[in-house]
Amino acid sequence: MSRQENWPKIAVVGAGAVGGYFGGLLARGGASVVMIGRAAFVEAVKKNGLFLDTLQFQETVRIEASTELNAVLGAEIVLFCVKTTDNAATARALAPLLAPGALVLSMQNGVDNVEQIRAAAPIEALPSVVYVAASVPESGRVKHAGRGDLVVGPENEKTKRIAALFSRAKVACRISENIDGELWTKLIWNCALNAVSALGRAKYGQIAASADARKVVETTVYEVLAVARAAGIHLPGLEDPQTAMAGALKIATQLAEAFSSTAQDLNRGKLTEIDSLNGYISRRGAELGVPTPVNHALYALVKLAEGRS
């Protein structure tokens, strides 16, 4: 029996750390996966395979790779893993290539990616919340530093299919009836830690160990909670600011050896996703009349560090 028998064809659009990690695990489990990425990634994977350097194992996975978006043709599941800044352009290019009934899963930071994708093209993307610390230290190599689980929802045939797919590859995937609350919970942690890690050139563990950094994290968290309340978002278990702050520090401790994705982008001279993180809270707060001075400061400083204020 073929290892790929009874698996749907899967395409990863945007094969970076997240796409490389989860797509790699699906391929390792036996799925037929094609990864669409930059030329250096594709060349490395075609030559040597995709090397997964995880906390549980180190293994090379042989996988199909392409620089061309039309490699998604025939895919039943598409993991949408591009940077949020590329949402609209990628969605418009992807739409005419999708097979009828194909499921598109947004595996990105931020809370409004599905809306952005739908606004740009006729794609009914599904939201997910991704918890993983991963990086790409060199082309064709994914370094895993912590966690590696997903949340999708609400429960329906599509989300049950996604959860079963990842569970089959031994990736924890939970279904939630409050996916908006789950997305905003992740946004709290991202706003609290990403920019501080980037601007301070600090690993998460260093942030948790610094009393001064924790004060910045605390104020950032409180501002995000205030915007969430004003937006009518239900955050179960996080209504108490101290509980939310403890959650941010727990994440920082779990991923102590990792730099944020924002820090990784800045270090490489790449554009960050800060517009979808602290920048989103700054804009949404302004719309709702909620002051967000610390989130706005972090957003502005990251933009300056990118070289595009």
**Are residues 294 and 193 part of one domain?**
yes
Residue 92: phi and psi, rounded to 5, are: -65, -40
Residues 163 and 228 in one domain: no
153 shares its domain with 203: no
CA–CA distance, 148 with 171 (Å, rounded to integer): 7
Output the furthest CA–CA distance in the chain (Å, rounded): 60
Helix (H) or strand (E) holding 278: helix 278-288
Q: Which residue has 């002051």 as its token pair?
A: 291
In 233-270, which positions are buried (b, 16+ CB within 10 angstroms) versus exposed (e)?
bebeebeeeeebbebbbebbebbbebbbbbbbbbeeee
- Per the DSSP assignment, residues forming a β-bridge with 142 are 52
Q: In the prediction, which pLDDT does 157 show?
A: 98
169 and 53 fall within a common domain: yes
Stretches in the chain below the pLDDT threshold 70: 1-5, 308-309
- Whether residues 161 and 58 share a domain: the answer is yes
Contact yes or no for 77/7 (Cβ under 8 A): no
Amino acid 292 reads T
Nearest CA-CA partner of 306 in 281, 260, 275 = 275
The CATH code of the domain that includes 165 is 3.40.50.720
Domain boundary among 177, 198, 225: 177
The closest alpha carbon to 17, from 111, 105, 108, belongs to 108
Sign of CA dihedral 76, 46, 68, 268: positive
In the chain, the number of structural domains is 2
Contacts of 178 (CB under 8 A, 6+ apart): 153, 154, 234, 236
Same domain, 65 and 194: no
Full domain range(s) for residue 261: 180-306
- Closest Cα to residue 113, out of 167, 165, 187, 35? 187
Asked if 299 and 279 touch (Cβ cutoff 8 Å), the reply is yes
Q: Which two tokens stand for residue 186?
A: 């992740």
> Are residue 124 and residue 209 in the same domain, yes or no?
no
Among 157, 177, 197, residue at a domain's last position: 177
Question: According to the model, what pLDDT value does residue 236 have?
Answer: 83
What is residue 4's predicted lDDT score, i.e. its pLDDT?
60
Instruction: Say if residue 164 is in the same domain as residue 250.
Output: no
Same domain (yes/no): 116, 194 = no
Residues 154 and 201 in one domain: no
Residues 132-174: tens digit of each pLDDT: 999 999 999 999 998 999 999 999 999 999 999 999 999 999 9
C-alpha radius of gyration, the chain, whole number: 19
Domain final residue, candidates 149, 177, 205? 177
pLDDT of residue 177: 97
Q: What are phi and psi of 188, to 5 degrees?
A: -55, -50
Q: Are residues 238 and 163 in the same domain?
A: no
d(CA 239, CA 244): 7
Measured in whole angstroms, the distance separating CA 146 from the mean position of its chain's CA atoms is 14
Residues 6+ apart with CB under 8 A from 272: 198, 261, 262, 265, 266, 302, 306
pTM of this structure: 0.94
Q: Which of 21, 11, 5 is nearest to 56 (CA)?
A: 21
